[in-house]
Structure 1
């Protein structure tokens, strides 16, 4: 790990900032946390990340799956979905974007770090 840029898209500010703090303490360059799909797309256009952690349900017109699709149109980066929703229909729709994985809320810091480390190692090979 060498300061890779990570985007966290989370509509719940406390969870987004907590994840940002965990990753920043581990040496990652964590981008400002957008709370809506629209903010996320604007940020992606300005500066694409090396990895994205995206909440599937963002509570606005643009959901996390749409954000991932937008990102993947121009940039091949690993996507990790962060979600509290485990219904088959939502998960099946998210799987169409070929994410690196899913983290179910609430998650432990070590699980988040492990998946991020693995996703970034996978892109190096």
Structure 2
């Protein structure tokens, strides 16, 4: 499975990449901000997005998903450091596979990815 990672913390992004590869999947790309993510996701057409919600520019992860879903139907797993319910309510508008609160374990990510088309 081709997985695109959007995470503005480079260390966490690298950890997610290593977890994804350990599961036998390929990281099709990474981005640290919303504008970059929107462009790259549309051109790389991944099978799954691992999406941080709060990013370091004016576009948050939920807005990225909203933009991308206009062109592509890609499942999303949100991985966020913010447990504020208002973000989860906004994310519900566009649907998601899972909504994980950081820090996440390898086992948690494994279970979430396995929910995508029943594979993992």
- With the shorter chain as reference, the TM-score category is over 0.9
- For 2:69 and 2:14, locate their aligned partners in 1 and report how far apart those are by CA, in whole Å: 24
| Correspondence for 2:28 | 31
- TM-score, normalised via structure 2 length: 0.93
- More moved, 112-121 vs 57-66: 112-121
- TM-score, normalised via structure 1 length: 0.89
| Correspondence for 2:7 | 10
* Secondary structure in structure 2 of the residue aligned to 1:81: strand
| Correspondence for 1:43 | 40
* Secondary structure in structure 1 of the residue aligned to 2:5: strand
| Correspondence for 2:90 | 93
Structure 2: gaps (5+ residues): none
| Correspondence for 1:61 | 58
Which of 103, 111, 115 is residue 114 of structure 1 equivalent to? 111
- For 1:48 and 1:62, locate their aligned partners in 2 and report how far apart those are by CA, in whole Å: 20
Structure 1: gaps (5+ residues): none
TM-aligned CA deviation for residue 119 of structure 1: 1.8
Give 4+ residue runs of structure 1 displaced > 4 Å after superposition. Answer: none
Report how many aligned residue pairs link the two structures. 119
Which of 67, 70, 82 is residue 67 of structure 2 equivalent to? 70
- For 1:90 and 1:100, locate their aligned partners in 2 and report how far apart those are by CA, in whole Å: 15
Relative to structure 1, the CA distance from residue 76 to residue 45 in structure 2 (aligned partners, 3 Å threshold; closer, same or farther) is closer
RMSD (Å), alpha carbons: 1.3
Deviations, residues 27-57 of structure 1 (Å, cap 9, x unaligned): 1011231111111112112211101010010
